[in-house]
């Protein structure tokens, strides 16, 4: 019963990167997870926790320039609050949060599938490979192919592990500038170079005549607005759209450049890695989370998808001086990804105290790391690549959504950092292979005879 009672409770996430630029306007407590941290935060006012559903955030941001991804756990840290009230209220929000994640994930997958089905560039087999998958897959020999894909996977996963460890080390030693610079570089590449490539291919597919000056204008504007939205401030919807677009672009790159079998094995391996990294006591991601908790500072990944909703506008006025100090002290300046709110919100408690009476619906929304978007879309995109069968794509899509739902449910039960990839990817893989090999012949025979079940 408890399982169902805590249905989609509300969660905190693993935050990955901390941008320590001390932009006074960049810190948005709404998206910070300070409230979600240990109950020992003295300023946290427990009476008003009911207005704070916790958020789920699966941080998974991989810097594009290094071409790898750091899976992040979905973390759930409950602030200590009266159980009953909190459960009631967050239950109401629970389903809403799940839907707030369904929609962007669906959109990303739709973009990827639409591109795959229409633009043939991303499905053309090329001899080019990423340097992370150096072994070529020989289609003639099954054993050799399997072996090479396993080797590719090992290379890729080890690259990912190394990068994650480097990041943890950097974070531990507070090299925030370095991390921030790295992230800016990767999003630059995504927003300018990959989108240029994408646009070029779309134009080729639809035979649209385009001149370079116009193209430069378009790409320039797209890229600059994207950088501003993602790393600084911008309207929430625009920022969400940009995050979805860059996840889709990254997923398309993976779909194009990962060899066939390697892609599937990598998907499986990365969910296992995610599981280990988050749940094992010595896992890098878990260490990251614990470090962030120790320092009592919100780690902000520069790139997570945030669907936060209404802001308590009244908060802008009730800024207390000590909280401003705290903010600077924290140096946990997360960029205000939600944009225009200029809330001062170093401590949840202070805010909550004043806001108790307000009946503005305060919803912190949910967050999901971009890595999750990317890998979900890779799975569905690869399902769409194989042949003209839409059933497989649809099955994988439903499987991933249900996996996401279950992950959020589990998070509500266990109340600790959990990885977000394994369940969805497992379901996705199971459904892909079984639909492709079992269901497809069945449905084809049925459709040929127009029998309906």
Q: Locate tokens 């979600």: which residue?
A: 36
- Provide the β-strand partners of residue 368: 58, 305
Among 98, 277, 366, 411, binds other proteins (CB under 8 A): 98
Asked if 363 is an active-site residue, the reply is no
Looking at beta carbons only, is 346 or 423 nearer to other proteins? Answer: 423
Among 41, 43, 46, 99, binds other proteins (CB under 8 A): 99
Residues 185-244 that bind other proteins (CB under 8 A): none
Judged by CB under 8 A, the stretch of 232-240, 249-257, 374-382, 392-400 that binds other proteins is: 392-400
Contact between 280 and other proteins by CB under 8 A: the answer reads: no
Do the beta carbons of residue 345 and residue 27 sit within 8 Å?
Answer: yes
Residue of 344, 345, 372, 436 marked active site: 372
Contact between 96 and other proteins by CB under 8 A: the answer reads: yes
Q: Is 328 exposed, middle or buried (0-12, 13-18, 19+ CB in 10 A)?
A: middle
Contact between 415 and other proteins by CB under 8 A: the answer reads: no
Do the beta carbons of residue 190 and residue 62 sit within 8 Å?
Answer: no
Judged by CB under 8 A, the stretch of 58-66, 247-255, 296-304, 435-443 that binds other proteins is: 435-443
Contact between 82 and other proteins by CB under 8 A: the answer reads: no
Do the beta carbons of residue 372 and residue 56 sit within 8 Å?
Answer: no
Nearest approach in angstroms of CB 257 to other proteins is: 26
> Residue 93 has which token pair?
């929000």
Q: CA 168, 169, 174, 179 torsion: positive or negative? A: negative
Judged by CB under 8 A, the stretch of 30-38, 82-90, 308-316, 369-377 that binds other proteins is: 82-90
Nearest approach in angstroms of CB 76 to other proteins is: 18
Judged by CB under 8 A, the stretch of 73-81, 163-171, 374-382, 430-438 that binds other proteins is: 430-438
Residue of 274, 344, 345, 436 marked active site: 274
Count the helices and strands in the chain (H runs, E runs).
15, 5
Asked if 372 is an active-site residue, the reply is yes
Looking at beta carbons only, is 213 or 388 nearer to other proteins? Answer: 388
Q: Is 136 exposed, middle or buried (0-12, 13-18, 19+ CB in 10 A)?
A: middle
Give buried/exposed letters for 92-123 (b at 16+ CB in 10 A, else e). ebbebbbebbeebbbbbbebbbebbbebebbb
Q: Is 329 exposed, middle or buried (0-12, 13-18, 19+ CB in 10 A)?
A: exposed
Nearest approach in angstroms of CB 93 to other proteins is: 9
Catalytic residues, by residue number, are 274, 372
Footprint of other proteins (CB under 8 A): 1, 3-5, 7, 84, 87-88, 91-92, 95-96, 98-99, 102, 388-391, 394-395, 398-399, 401-402, 405, 431, 434-435, 437-439, 441-447, 449-453
């Amino acid at each position: 019963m408890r399982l169902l009672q805590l249905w989609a409770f509300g969660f905190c996430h693993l935050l990955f990167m901390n941008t320590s630029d001390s932009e006074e306007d960049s810190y948005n407590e709404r998206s910070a997870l300070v409230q979600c941290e240990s109950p020992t935060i003295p300023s946290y006012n427990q009476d008003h926790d009911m207005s704070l559903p916790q958020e789920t955030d699966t941080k998974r941001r991989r810097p594009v320039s290094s071409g790898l991804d750091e899976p992040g756990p979905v973390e759930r840290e409950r602030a200590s609050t009266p159980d009953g009230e909190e459960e009631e209220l967050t239950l109401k929000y629970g389903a809403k949060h799940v839907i707030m994640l369904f929609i962007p994930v669906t959109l990303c997958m739709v973009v990827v599938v639409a591109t795959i089905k229409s633009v043939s560039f991303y499905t053309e087999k090329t001899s080019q490979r990423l340097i992370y998958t150096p072994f070529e897959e020989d289609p003639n020999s099954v054993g050799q192919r399997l072996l090479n894909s396993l080797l590719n996977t090992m290379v890729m996963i080890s690259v990912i592990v190394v990068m994650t460890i480097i990041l943890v080390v950097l974070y531990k030693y507070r090299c925030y500038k370095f991390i921030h610079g790295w992230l800016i570089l990767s999003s630059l590449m995504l927003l300018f170079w990959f989108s240029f490539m994408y646009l070029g291919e779309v134009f080729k597919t639809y035979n649209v005549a385009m001149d370079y000056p116009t193209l430069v204008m378009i790409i320039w504007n797209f890229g600059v607005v994207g950088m501003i939205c993602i790393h600084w401030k911008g309207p929430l919807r625009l920022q969400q759209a940009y995050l979805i677009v860059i996840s889709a672009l990254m997923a398309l790159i993976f779909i194009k450049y990962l060899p066939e079998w390697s892609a599937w094995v990598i998907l499986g391996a990365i969910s296992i890695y995610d599981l280990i990294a988050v749940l094992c006591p010595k896992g890098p991601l878990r260490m990251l989370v614990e470090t962030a908790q120790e320092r009592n500072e919100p780690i902000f990944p520069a790139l997570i998808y945030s669907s936060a909703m209404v802001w308590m506008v009244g908060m802008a006025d009730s800024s207390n001086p000590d909280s401003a100090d705290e903010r600077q002290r924290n140096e946990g300046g997360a960029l205000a990804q939600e944009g225009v709110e200029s809330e001062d919100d170093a401590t949840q408690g202070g805010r909550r105290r004043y806001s108790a009476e307000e009946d503005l619906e305060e919803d912190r929304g949910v967050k999901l790391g971009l890595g999750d978007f990317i890998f979900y879309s890779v799975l569905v995109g690869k399902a769409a690549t194989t042949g003209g069968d839409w059933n497989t794509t649809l099955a994988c899509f439903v499987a991933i959504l249900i996996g996401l739902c279950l992950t959020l449910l589990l998070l509500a039960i266990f109340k600790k950092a959990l990885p977000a990839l394994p369940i969805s990817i497992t379901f996705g893989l199971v459904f892909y292979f079984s639909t492709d090999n079992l269901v497809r012949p069945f449905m084809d025979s049925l459709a040929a005879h127009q029998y309906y079940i």
